[in-house]
Amino acid sequence: MPKTAPLTHALHEELVAVAHLLADAARPIALQYFRGAGQAIENKLAKDFDPVTVADRLIEQTMRELLAQHRPQDSILGEEFAAYTGSSGLTWVLDPIDGTRGFISGTPTWGVLIAVGPEDGPLIGIIDQPFTGERFIGTPHLAEWQHATGTRPLQVRTSVSLEDAILFTTFPEVGTKDEQAAFNRVRDKVKLARYGMDCYAYALLAAGQIDLVVEAQLNAYDIQGPLAVIKAAGGVVTDWQGGPAHMGGQVVAAGGPALHAAALKLLQSGKAT
C-alpha cells in the first residue's frame, strides 16, 4: 500500500481546488438532463430497480478525465466504472449522481458527491446540488455552504435531545427486517422523521437544519463525501456499532455525541446477548 503524503497546506489547497473543479464540471451535465424529456434510464438489477442514466456516466467519465490531467497519481473509486489504483496513497471517491431515483423523478434531493483521502477515510468532501446551486464542502480546515448569494459556515446542532430530534433517511424500508426494526426504534423516539432525501439529508445535518440520518446498505461512494462534510461541521458519523463508516454499510450520522450515543443504543438494543 503506497504511503500517503502529509496533508500540508499546499496539498490541502491543491486537493480542494481539484474537488471544486470536478464539481464545477459536473453541474452543467447534470442540469442538461435533470427534468429533461426522454431521459435514457437503465436498470442495473434484474429483480429490483437500481437506475442509472446517461448523466451518471457522463459526469463520472468527465471527473475521471479531469483527475487524469490534474492528479494522475491518485486512485479512483467511482460508482459507474472500474476502480483505478494510483501511487499516492490518496483515493478520489466519486458518486456522479447520488439519488438517481430522485433525479429521474424531478426532486432536487440528489447531488454530486466527491471525496478524497487515504485508506482510513476521507479528508475532503463535497456535496453539490446543481439545481439549487448549493455546495457543501468540508475539509480539516473548512466547513462551508457556498452559493451564488454568498457563503456561510456549516455547523451542526449539538444540544438536541433524541425526543426533539429530526431524523431523515432515504427509504422507509431500511435494509433487512432486522435493520428496519432497529431504525423503527429510533424513529419512534424522535420528534419528526422524513424520507426520500438522499444525500441532501447529510447536507442539511451539516447545516444544522436536522439532527440525525440513519441508513443501511450504503456503498463507500454514498457516504465518504457526506462524512467529510459532517465531520468538518462538528458532527459524528459512524456505523451502527460505533466504528468507522467510510466504507459504507450501516451508517448513523448525528449532530452531537450525546444524540449519537442515544441513537446507537436504540439501534443496538435488539441484538441478542
> What DSSP line would sit under 14-51, residue for residue?
HHHHHHHHHHHHHHHHHHHHTT-TT--EEES-SSS--E
For residues 60 and 129, state if they share a domain.
Answer: yes
Length of the chain: 273
For residues 20 and 104, state if they share a domain.
Answer: yes
Domain count, the chain: 2
For residues 56 and 82, state if they share a domain.
Answer: yes
Digit-coded pLDDT (tens) for 226-242:
999 999 999 999 999 99
For residues 49 and 144, state if they share a domain.
Answer: yes
**Does the residue 2 lie in any domain?**
no
Structural domain harbouring 29: 9-153
CATH number, domain of 106, equals: 3.30.540.10
Digit-coded pLDDT (tens) for 139-149:
999 999 999 99
Q: Please give the model's pTM, rounded to 2 decimal places.
A: 0.93
CATH number, domain of 257, equals: 3.40.190.80
Low-confidence ranges of the chain (pLDDT < 50): 45-46, 49, 272-273
Q: For residue 177, give every residue at least 6 positions away whose Cβ sits within 8 Å of its Cβ, in sequence order, or none.
A: none
For residues 125 and 202, state if they share a domain.
Answer: no
For residues 245 and 138, state if they share a domain.
Answer: no
For residues 181 and 226, state if they share a domain.
Answer: yes
- Rounded to whole angstroms, the Cα distance separating 14 from 4 reads 15
For residues 82 and 166, state if they share a domain.
Answer: no
**Does the residue 4 lie in any domain?**
no
Domain boundary among 121, 153, 185: 153
For residues 168 and 148, state if they share a domain.
Answer: no
Domain boundary among 101, 126, 153: 153
For residues 145 and 51, state if they share a domain.
Answer: yes
Q: What is the pLDDT of residue 36?
A: 78
For residues 189 and 109, state if they share a domain.
Answer: no
For residue 249, with 0-12 CB atoms within 10 Å meaning exposed, 13-18 middle and 19 or more buried, which class applies?
Answer: buried
**Does the residue 124 lie in any domain?**
yes
For residues 125 and 219, state if they share a domain.
Answer: no
Displacement of CA 40 from its chain's centroid (Å): 25
